[in-house]
Amino acid sequence: MDGPVRSRLAYLSDFQFGAVNTETIEDALLHLAQLNEQAVQEAAGRMGSFRETRIVEFVFLLSEQWCLEKSVSYQAVEILERFMVQQAEDICRQATVQLREKTEPQSWKALKEQLFNKFILRLVSCVQLASKLSFHYKIISNGTVLSFLQSLGYVHTKEELLESELDVLKSLNFQINLPTPLAYVEMLLEVLGYNGCLVPAARLHATCLTLLDLVYLLHEPVYDSLLRASVENSRPSQLQGEKFVSVKEDFMLLGVGIIAASAFIQSPECWGQVVEHLQSITGITLESIAEFSYAILTHGVGANTPRRRPVPPHLEARALGAVTSSNS
């Protein structure tokens, strides 16, 4: 058995539900809900622009190569996304100041080249920083990072590597311990277990990880189809797209969508009960949960873009039809 598979199985086998008391779970869920509300309210502009498929795939494959557990790969993507957005905003602010002061501005081409030339180094630094946040699993050494970069044709020193990490930390005000969608998924699964959900949380967990990978890798297609369904228009306006940024940053919504889709895959007959539990826990409407889970399922089985669902219970019949047609 190779390293990446062994690492993934070790993480799954070590994970336990029902080991924490209800008071702690309630406090943790409330804290995550508050963080999520703040993220949704602050979402604007370029947020989510760097969760691009090729970038996410690179991070995932690198994390597997280095045998890092799943939460590290998600955290690395989020750190990189926040850092790159901050870099883009800094460039815009710099250009605005230069125009206002009528100084000689740097060309966009030069600024773009600066970002491009250091992007792989920054990406690797984000993975390394994420691994340090999960120090109880595995920290990636500087030697390992430098060897990897050299294998790609990038020659850097340990000093440059440390400077890159420091640049990321300073840019984000050292706030890199970011909540990831996985934290919301696992917390909601824990609560479902205490609430008497018919589908065991441990059984849903592995499927949730697979679907969360899918959503990260197909981030734009999944959310684009969700946007079209929500506005009932195959060609949303730019304003509608900008307002939809807050949905892309709603990890609680993503968490319930992932769990609902996983429940349908594992036990379609229990799907309704799971969705009702999720609605009761989070306050997210049944229709929103159904819409999101259907978007995930249709992209997972290769069906067409979903249309808006007026009545949530119809999801089961439509999803079954999508699975049947994709297998025929």
90 and 199 co-located in one domain: no
Nearest to 61 by CA among 3, 117, 105: 3
Please report, for the domain that includes residue 140, its CATH number.
Answer: 1.10.472.10
110 and 76 co-located in one domain: yes
159 and 186 co-located in one domain: no
150 and 257 co-located in one domain: no
CA distance 197 to 136: 31
Question: Of the candidates 117, 152, 172, which is a domain's last residue?
Answer: 172
Q: Report pLDDT digits (tens) over 227-280.
A: 888 888 788 888 888 788 889 999 999 999 999 999 999 888 889 999 999 999
235 and 288 co-located in one domain: yes
Q: Percentages helix, strand, coil for the chain, rounded to the nearest 5?
A: 75, 0, 25
Other C-beta atoms closer than 10 Å to the C-beta of 307 total 14
Give a yes or no: residue 120 inside a domain: yes
Q: Which two three-digit tokens encode residue 57?
A: 């795939």
Instruction: Using only the alpha carbons of the chain, give its radius of gyration.
Output: 21
217 and 168 co-located in one domain: no
193 and 295 co-located in one domain: yes
228 and 130 co-located in one domain: no
- What is the model's pLDDT at position 318? 40
> What burial class does residue 180 get, using C-beta atoms within 10 Å of its C-beta: 0-12 exposed, 13-18 middle, 19+ buried?
buried
CA distance 195 to 185: 15
Give a yes or no: residue 26 inside a domain: no
- What is the model's pLDDT at position 320? 41
Question: Of the candidates 145, 172, 199, which is a domain's last residue?
Answer: 172
Which domain covers residue 263, as residue numbers?
181-301
Ranges in the chain, pLDDT < 50: 1, 4-5, 7, 9, 12-13, 303-328
- What is the model's pLDDT at position 107? 63
189 and 157 co-located in one domain: no
61 and 163 co-located in one domain: yes
Other C-beta atoms closer than 10 Å to the C-beta of 317 total 9
3-state class of 49 per DSSP?
Answer: coil
Give a yes or no: residue 34 inside a domain: no
Question: Of the candidates 150, 172, 194, which is a domain's last residue?
Answer: 172
Domain tally, the chain: 2
137 and 201 co-located in one domain: no
Q: Report pLDDT digits (tens) over 278-287.
A: 999 999 999 9
CA distance 169 to 88: 16
